[in-house]
Structure 1
């Protein structure tokens, strides 16, 4: 109902002549109804909805016209003119009260219309500014990513190159979130399934080199707040990067699957591979600590998933999405 009223108030009004004609028809229709059925309500009260509708759809002039016309055609005025008698104070008081209420209704609705139009204009301007900000932020982040990538390509030290490539991937995660935020059409919300698909494709291109490794994304489309989407993207980035780093040595190929699903406990993000598994001597590195920190920040938990082959990590985040869209979507990269 609220959205309907906002749409009516903000829409373009028809020509004034149309409003006057429709208002005249409504007043005459109510007058005819009164003479035919003689409602138990006071004879002026049925005209108030006409005043409201006229002011709502055709503006303040139509509402004032409906008020004055219905007051002039009401039985009290007609009886006074026919009898030639002096009006009683109570009759005059009610006529004045009715005209006052009708005029106030027309003025109030016009004020509401003006306020709604100003709010919608401000919202449109804010949306445009946020869109421009997200676009510029994304471009700046991609420029930083390109500079870091060039530095990584020039490095001869393997550890330094690996650190720079990790930094490139993390910056791209945030840049992609800004791009999704700009395209989402929702202030501060990102459709996380499409976001993860784009991240999976980008990570596959960045990390696999010539190895036949496929990144598969199976995600339930849902909208979440932008900071939450960035955290989910960073967690997925670190887990996929670890899988590429340890699961497929010596040029081996395989599949890394990113799964995002909604459960009663919250959102579950899992990353699994069919590689050689985690080396027994592997210690928690920066990426693993970052995953635990991000999950903890959202009140979630991280746990390993037992598998016969390969390795898997499941992250449970007790969050509620802003909206869930359609069904799960799968894609390969």
Structure 2
């Protein structure tokens, strides 16, 4: 069975022929139609003399365009006058009823030709528009990919510069501040690296698959910290697959990076074994990102819950986490894990973005 797209492709190739060849083929089509009609004269009554000519008009207009359909209408009318409408072998029509029938045939055939031509023109424009959109989408993907690569490279250069400045800083406080800033820049570079890889959604380059993104980032953090020494810490990640726009994915990635990094660095002193678990899910219209560890935990004064908080370390990490949660229109909470052991961190934010995507 011939598909519609294949038929339109055949029609498009036929209409790309030279005009003289299209008109010649139209005349051949009309002649074949009347030849078939004459071959069936014994089967079809004379009242159906307009049937085959209309089919010839439809075929000509479909294959060769509206102009060919109008030409087929003219040729068919002349042939009808000559061969079927009395007086025969004359271009005159003696019977008024036959004259009005011929006039109606011309009107209907001309209208069919124009409708088919307009339909084909619309389809060709839609095809061209679709091709242009496909090219635009491809260019957008390339530009977005290039932007992410450049952002990652620029951030890596910034990390190197901050670490260089930290070594030359005159005080330990300045050195610690510059190193902490370098860590945040490295986290952002890590997120952009993952966005430039397999986490991108197939249909929209600005949308991320949450499972690939969260699990990929968690495993990247595990590999990064594993190179710092053989530490008996197991990091696992489980994420549900949901579409997540890149803007919010960056914030989720930064929160995940900060919390997992803190757990790997500080929750297990003296090389003690432990476990860090990351989960991402959707519950009742909200996305939940949770990070749990069974490490040393935090004291009640260090819990972040609502508006009561005591800054950890310099307090910059906690303020950043709460700020990123606010950008997501969500909440960030940190406290003891189940049974009071370890630390439980949870980020909640609406599944629907501010623009309505969810």
> Which residue is equivalent to 1:327?
none
Unaligned segments of structure 1, at least 5 residues: 56-61, 325-333
Alpha-carbon separation, structure 2, partners of 1:107 and 1:234: 51
Residue 120 of structure 2 is aligned with which of 106, 110, 113? Answer: 106
Alpha-carbon separation, structure 2, partners of 1:193 and 1:132: 23
Alignment partner of 1:242: what SS? helix
Alpha-carbon separation, structure 1, partners of 2:238 and 2:336: 17
Alpha-carbon separation, structure 2, partners of 1:240 and 1:153: 26
Q: 1:266 to 1:202 in 2, by over 3 A?
A: same
Residue 271 of structure 2 corresponds to residue 251 of structure 1:
yes
Residue 250 of structure 2 corresponds to residue 233 of structure 1:
no
Residue 141 of structure 2 corresponds to residue 141 of structure 1:
no
Aligned length: 304
> Which residue is equivalent to 1:313?
345
> Which residue is equivalent to 1:197?
215
Per-residue deviation at 1:300?
1.5
2:56, 2:72 within 8 Å by CA — same for their partners in 1?
yes
Alpha-carbon separation, structure 1, partners of 2:120 and 2:175: 71
Please list, as runs of the form range in 1=range in 2, the aligned pairs for 1:286-297 lying within 5 A after superposition.
286-297=316-327
What TM-score does the superposition give when structure 2 sets the normalisation length?
Answer: 0.66
Alpha-carbon separation, structure 2, partners of 1:316 and 1:257: 17
Rg (Cα) greater in structure: 2
Per-residue deviation at 1:266?
1.9
> Which residue is equivalent to 2:306?
none
Residue 126 of structure 1 is aligned with which of 137, 140, 150? Answer: 140
Greater relative contact order (Cα < 8 A, sep 6+): 1
Per-residue deviation at 1:232?
0.4
Moved more, 202-211 or 142-151: 202-211
Alpha-carbon separation, structure 2, partners of 1:253 and 1:260: 24
Per-residue deviation at 1:276?
1.2
> Which residue is equivalent to 1:67?
69
What TM-score does the superposition give when structure 1 sets the normalisation length?
Answer: 0.70
Please list, as runs of the form range in 1=range in 2, the aligned pairs for 1:1-333 lying within 5 A after superposition.
16=14, 54=62, 62-64=64-66, 67=69, 71=73, 79-82=80-83, 83=85, 84=90, 85-86=92-93, 87-88=99-100, 89-151=103-165, 160=174, 162-183=176-197, 184=200, 185=202, 186-206=204-224, 209-210=228-229, 211-282=231-302, 283-284=310-311, 285-303=315-333, 304=335, 306-308=337-339, 309-320=341-352
Alignment partner of 1:314: what SS? strand
Alpha-carbon separation, structure 2, partners of 1:313 and 1:278: 11
1:213, 1:254 within 8 Å by CA — same for their partners in 2?
yes
Alignment partner of 2:288: what SS? strand
